[in-house]
Structure 1
Amino acid sequence: MSLPQRRITAPFDWGRFHSYRVFDEFLERFVLQRKSYITLHDGRLNLDAAWDDIEERFIAAADESSDVVFETKVLAQFDGASEETKIVFANVEYLWAMPMENISAAKKRSYAQRWFRDRETSSGERFFFNDPHTIANPGSWYLRNKYYEIVAALRVLKLVTREPGFTDVTALKRRIAEICHSAIYEGVPKGDTFAVEKVCGIHSALLHLADPDRYESIISASHRNQICAVFGHVVENPSPDLEVLLKQIRATLYPSHGVSEDPDFKYRWFFYSKDVRPLWIDKKTRKEQRVSSAIFDVRNEEEAADLEGAKDEVTGHRIRRSAKLVKAAKERDKYTCRACNFHFQDQIVHVHHLDPISEYKHPKDTKPQDLLTLCPTCHYLAHYWLRTDPQFKRLEVLLEMLKKLKPRCN
């Protein structure tokens, strides 16, 4: 099912997508009203008793053998369990599966039908759906890690159901976000019920569902780390909190990247846009991250402005560059790379700043001697080396290194 495209307005209407609507409904019915959301049983649930029973069956009696599939283990563990315990576990398992694209709608419903007949379970796209109503595709690791993911979800739900005073979904989501953020960045106390030491994607999923405007829909911890490693330098005062830093990076890049994407896609999954994702995905080594970051640095070079380093306030900051200075430098160097002598019809050359604009604390006049014309290849190399050693801010050092590679640049 596809949704009509539309222009983004603030605030973004997350409720148009089933995952966010269902999450709110789930919290209202399961946590606040203590009733089943995914089955049609209408009685009030004794969640305290169910948590204790699930802990004994699912945790204490866990089958850690690798030659038995999860489904077989669960059937054995909950053999003889009360209907109420099965209802509660089915709801938790549904919450784990519900927002994920790589679990089919039919598969999501089959979990509840493990114990309950068709007429006893909820049905239809309102409850079981896929793209574009899901929030992420975490890949096969989310399925392989299912036991630990569900344990983590059990802990979150047990904590909020045993804390008194919640009367509305908004306050409940705020508390869930706090619990999940703490679990991701501080870890889970070992003494907690349903404690799990693994990094679980469900924490990131619940974090996003609880506050989608504040937290990105990025389930993978490695993805968050890679994005921050590659783009962190574009933020003037980067936050030590990765979730905040992601938003700072997003605000900086958003105006100039993802412009060809469907507006809904760009707003929901900006870092997976066609011209953003290739710059950070799978950049596992520091070297790869620096090279990708350098590619970003040389984009949008020739924007009109008289002072270098001034900032246009949009949703973030875009650093201004002087088109006049760029043109003058190219004319001075006869549109020829000063390192490898590349020249092509007075085109396809860049102007490199020996003193990177991204490091300017305040706008200032750039001197012509601080600029040199380079071909794209030499320009990328210049930025790459600059990230490894500040001595490459010196013209003679940079040119000496580039000229050594002259045969490779042509």
Structure 2
Amino acid sequence: MSVFIHHLSTLVPPHAYSQEQLCARLTEWQQNPLTARLTRQLFRRSAIARRYSVLPDFHPETEPELFHRDGRGRLLAPSTGARNACYVRHANDLSVQLARQTLAECQEFDASDITHVITVSCTGFYNPGPDYAIVTQLGLPPSVERYHLGFMGCYAALPALRMAQQFCRTRPDAVVLVICLELCSLHLQLSDQPDSALANTLFSDGAAAALVSARPPSGKKPALVLEHFRSALATEGKKDMAWTVGDSGFNLVLSSYVPEVIAANIAALVDDLLLDTPRCRQELDWWAVHPGGRAILDQVEKSLDLRAEQITDSRSVLRDYGNMSSATILFVLQRLLERRETVPRSVCAMAFGPGLTIETALLEMRPATCGRMGNQPKESAALAAA
């Protein structure tokens, strides 16, 4: 049974900042001139143009919501409780707004069709959470099954899609709404640790949703077929990427060795993903690589011997949004769907997180068929309708 991503929708909070603005603000906040110098170097090499936040705090003349100063003008480190309270204030509204937007954009489904809601986040906790808000505020049946994947990190969207696929295969009438929401800017750390300086260069706030069902697509717009998933661990990278709860927010370990660890493992892992399929790596059309940073994209492109255009959507998402943790890979897949292909295309998606965990997925992009079936080659038309 084929299971499809019928629609992808994305949302960012209202406060947009250029990298130049953020660099100026963060170096102003730094007490250590050596750390400020490192920050400027990392920003110059980031390949990011703009990032988003729920916080107005990075505008110089705006009353801050989270990052306040003491009487001597020194920046105070917000507690974990204060950061999480900020998450609670924003997460409900953004989740509900995104769920409404997704259903409004995908008119093949309405709220009464939803049978499962899967929420994903590693940047805050509360219960009842966004899943509850979506069900109650959109008027979904109270019998809707709700699941949450928490604190997994940047790779979590792919396990959420695999869970949705399994639900749909078990229950053919299932319609699963997946919501990934990450407010990474709440956990900004102004320490002298290089890991913190690197994280402050990369991470951003954003949310993305997927509507997943075994219902055949209408053909009015392109869809993605969820084919195969594979999980793997590169345990030699365990010390290089980790995510823990501290007294002053969540603490990220993100060493500069992460791109090398991924590069050393990724080719074999993709081959493993394709083991039970008729495809080989060289035959895949498009690559949706989680843009964890410029160096990660560079290493994946080199290790897999990809053409630059095969991961251009990953680079453009990094440029336009930064790293939004679990939501980011759905932004990349959305851009692939916007290509408006006229024949089916294979897609390999991958994302990375603590452990070092590497998740991969094989998908097929099905083009829109309405209004041009007669112009397609017979083989393409048959495949699109299958």
Task: Calculate the TM-score normalised by the size of structure 1.
Answer: 0.24
The structure in which a higher percent of residues are strand is 2
Name the structure, 1 or 2, with higher relative contact order (CA <8 Å, separation 6+): 2
Calculate the TM-score normalised by the size of structure 2.
Answer: 0.25
- Higher-helix-fraction structure: 1
